[in-house]
Homo-oligomer: A and B are copies of this chain.
């Protein structure tokens, strides 16, 4: 039944299956066979297209980062004025998509991957850099040079609140998390 032009389809299916499996198992202890099975193909085919398990993981990570980036871009497009832009970024960071079981699992495990795989650390760096520059861009018209510093604080706060929300067990409350960060933001801004 071989049809031609399968490569992108297969790869996409594998990436999706990888994220699902990591979320299901809760760790990087997923076998290529599990992934391939969920993606509806043999493990040999997975190796054929990606070469190694490591490459599959990296592709999955790129995909998560892409999704997150799209979420942010979408939110920014619908926001006008600096204040609205900052708020949009924060809210997008805690959108329901970020709290899906498999996305949580992916993030936590990518932190771990970054300890070993330089490429994974590079990707995380890109994510942090983009978040930072988005925040600075939105904050500069409001507070000028203090934007840099506040953006760093906000970035850390976002990650920290996310981590706690995720680790506290039970169903995460994205709205409450966003509200917490926005409260912090308000207090920082009123002083200026």
Chain A residues proximal to chain B, CB less than 8 Å: 25-28, 104-105, 108-109, 111-116, 121, 124-125, 128, 149, 152-153, 155-161, 163-164, 167-169, 180, 183-184, 187-188, 190-191
Contacting A167 at CB < 8 Å: which of B108, B111, B164?
B111
Give the copy number: 2
- Is A161 in contact with B167, judged by CB distance below 8 angstroms? no
Answer whether A160 and B156 are a contact pair too, CB < 8 Å, given A26-B116, A112-B27, A187-B187.
yes
- Expressed in whole angstroms, the Cα–Cα distance for A52 and B165 within the complex equals 30
Q: List 10 A-B contacts (CB under 8 A).
A: A26-B115, A27-B115, A108-B112, A111-B163, A128-B164, A128-B168, A155-B160, A155-B164, A156-B160, A157-B160
- Please give the distance in Å from A27's CB to the nearest CB on chain B: 6
Answer whether A124 and B167 are a contact pair too, CB < 8 Å, given A105-B115, A112-B112.
yes
